[in-house]
Amino acid sequence: MTEQIKQTLRDSKAARWTALVIVSFTMMWGYFLTDAMSPLMTMLEEEMNWSSSEFGIFNWAYCWFNVFLCMLLFGGIILDKMGVRFTGLMSCALMVIGAFIKYYAVEFISPAPEAGYIYVFGVGIRIQVFLASLGYAIFAVGTENCGITVTKVIAKWFKGKEMALAMGSQVAVARLGTALAMIVSPLIAKNFSMSTPLLFALVLLGVGLLAYIAFCVMDARLDKQITEVSESDDTFSVSDIKAIVSNRGFWLIALLCLMFYSAVFPFMKYATSLMENKYGMATEWAGWIPALIPMGNLVMTPLFGGLYDKYGKGASIMILGSAMLILVHVLFALPILNYWWFAAFVAIVLGVAFSLVPSAMWPSVPKIIPEKLLGSAYALIFWVQNIGLGFVPLLVGWLLNRYCIAGERIVDGKSFIQYDYTLPMCVFAIFGIVALMLAFALKKEDKRKGYGLEEPNIR
């Protein structure tokens, strides 16, 4: 049996890293479209009369189906029952469909109020905003389910290998998509149209779908090799989910993920506007500083993942990252040093924190949850995370519109609303404090249960 295991495709370093490159490429363009509109808040206000509340509603749509209809939870069950090929292809198709609807809304639907309203729970939403939000919601089902699928792909292909390094590398490539969105989207929109970044992403998502089909060929070959090796006792049953929801360590990671990412991803949605309003940067360049956050992930997330593989200290890494997160938002909240270079320094610190926590958090889940349940476990974590990804941008948009209007600012002879971001930054800092408390609780639970979070992955 040992000889048979050694001959599987995943034991070839070239093969497993090729598989990682393919699925990471697909996720990179998913992340690009996720944040393609983030640096365009001011331009949306100027050209399409979107308010900060409408921008918040649009970002809130990310969780409509994933949270309210529990599509992520269903996706996790489908993943564990049907495997990474079926679920991945389904997810990629949903990303393409959602991206097309989002592009169609911005390009072809009039932003004028005369075009009509859609009423949701008694709240009137302009048709363009609603349709763009609907496309974003469908896309979100695809990209989040693709995320849990890719995570299980790595757990499958890197079992007993460089798992944390592989997960860190995948996260790094995905963050490159975010960085490109922050840098490229304003420039494309400025020189072409508001919908052009979405069209660009739509085409590349189609290429990503083709890339995932190529991965499916490799994965089918691997499954043939391992069918009779050691997987026979790993049959998934829906009733097994109780082993996840009854695990305290799992819930500590899930809640840590919620708090940490609620202070990062929603912040990224408004970071360009922060640079414009607090640090006086021009719209077409304001995305460069937030782009430093994911750009730093390109090197640091794989680096920290490799250190976790070799030396352990996963829970301690999460504690350090959470503490740095608090520092970052406190510095952004303070009314001092309103210069671009200071904002760049703080963004780099956030980039380090944003590398530390994911590099340790995601590879720690397989130490707590059996492999056959990883799809459902990651899906449940993503579902919890999506609560923050949806509601926190909505909250920030409401806070800005209600409490944070500080006057007007004139840019190139045009008048824009001036926002004071002190209150939102304080909210993000509170999320960081809760994340830090959860990280300490996780380290204590690991010591009590012996999960091995402080131990190396490679033995």
Architecture per CATH, domain 13-226+236-449, reads as Up-down Bundle (1.20)
Model pLDDT, residue 1 = 39
Report whether 53 contacts 393 (CB < 8 A).
Answer: no
Report which residue type is found at 243. A
Count of other CB atoms within 10 angstroms of residue 328 = 26
For position 110, what pLDDT does the model report? Answer: 87
Q: What is the pTM of this model?
A: 0.82
- Estimate to the nearest angstrom the gap between the alpha carbon of 376 and the chain centroid: 18
Neighbours of 63 (CB within 10 A): 26
Contacts of 134 (CB under 8 A, 6+ apart): 61, 101, 105
Structural contact between residues 312 and 456, judged by C-beta atoms closer than 8 angstroms: yes
In order along its 459 residues, the chain shows pLDDT tens digits of 344 445 678 888 889 999 999 999 999 999 999 999 988 888 898 889 898 889 989 999 998 999 999 998 899 889 988 999 999 999 999 999 999 999 999 999 988 888 788 887 677 889 999 999 999 999 999 999 999 999 899 988 987 788 888 988 898 898 899 989 989 999 999 899 999 999 999 999 999 999 999 999 999 998 888 765 444 445 667 677 888 999 999 999 999 999 999 999 999 999 999 999 999 998 888 889 999 988 877 788 888 988 898 898 999 999 999 999 999 999 999 988 899 999 999 999 999 999 999 999 988 998 999 878 888 898 899 899 999 988 999 999 999 999 999 988 887 778 888 999 999 999 999 999 999 999 999 999 999 999 999 998 776
> What letters, b where the CB count within 10 A reaches 16 and e where it falls short, cover 189-206?
beeeebbbbbbbbbebbb
Where do runs of H (alpha helix) occur along 278-413?
283-286, 288-311, 314-333, 340-368, 374-403
Q: How many residues does the chain have?
A: 459
pLDDT value at residue 332 = 97
Beta partners for 126? 117
Q: Are strands 414-419 and 123-126 parallel, antiparallel or unpaired?
A: unpaired
